[in-house]
């Protein structure tokens, strides 16, 4: 049980970014991360994914979140756009360079996964759907999603050059 708990809880520096399996010296600012809070972490904690596959999934999710591609769930409190005409219409969204780069990396990673594999990759890694829910939504038989997800994560790991 202690080994399972050790795999579920990981401590890392706030500045470290994506979790890697290696333990480092404890910094002044650190957080404890529950790896089982995401479906990807749950699979990794139970030995169903390799460290390489887990790191690839975390890179995809980090790019997804950095690019701010998830839908907004609250009201936007930005100032109303000012326009010359009555139609008003806002211009193009003001994206930072980091967001643009993250979106480009995310799209390239999904393309590297391939057309049949990208669906399960996005549902489990980015949308946070459980494996059973993702398989049901895609109309797949039980336990087929795990195999397809591991293939997608291997391709994404090759794209990100994770060893």
pLDDT of residue 94: 62
pLDDT of residue 73: 74
Q: CA–CA separation, 48 vs 87, rounded Å?
A: 53
Lookup: tokens for 87: 């139609």
Q: Is the pTM of this model over 0.75?
A: no
The mean pLDDT value for 58-68 works out to 92
Is residue 23 left, alpha or beta, with left meaning phi > 0 and alpha meaning psi from -120 to 50?
Answer: beta
Lookup: tokens for 102: 């993250």
At 95-151, the pLDDT tens digits run: 688 899 999 999 999 999 999 899 999 999 999 999 999 999 999 999 899 999 999
Lookup: tokens for 36: 């089982």
At 1-31, the pLDDT tens digits run: 555 555 556 655 545 555 445 555 555 666 6
Asked if residues 33 and 11 have their Cβ atoms less than 8 Å apart, the reply is yes
Using the structure block, give the residue that is written with the tokens 């398989």: 135
State the DSSP H helix or E strand holding residue 29, giving kind and residue range, or none if neither. Answer: none
Lookup: tokens for 17: 């970014």
Using the structure block, give the residue that is written with the tokens 């756009």: 81
């Amino acid at each position: 049980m202690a080994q399972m708990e050790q795999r579920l809880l990981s401590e890392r520096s706030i500045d470290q970014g994506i979790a890697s399996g290696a333990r480092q010296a404890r910094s002044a600012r650190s957080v404890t991360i529950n790896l089982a809070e995401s479906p990807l972490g749950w699979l990794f904690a139970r030995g169903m994914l390799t460290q390489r596959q887990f790191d690839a999934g975390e890179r995809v999710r980090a790019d997804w979140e950095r690019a701010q591609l998830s839908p907004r769930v609250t009201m936007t409190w930005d100032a109303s756009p000012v326009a010359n005409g009555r139609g008003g219409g806002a211009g193009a969204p003001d994206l930072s360079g980091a967001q643009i780069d993250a979106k480009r990396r995310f799209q390239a990673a999904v393309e590297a996964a391939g057309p049949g594999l990208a669906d399960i990759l996005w549902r489990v890694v980015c949308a946070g759907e459980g494996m059973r829910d993702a398989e049901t939504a895609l109309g797949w038989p039980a336990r087929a999603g795990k195999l397809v997800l591991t293939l997608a994560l291997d391709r994404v790991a090759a794209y990100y050059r994770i060893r």
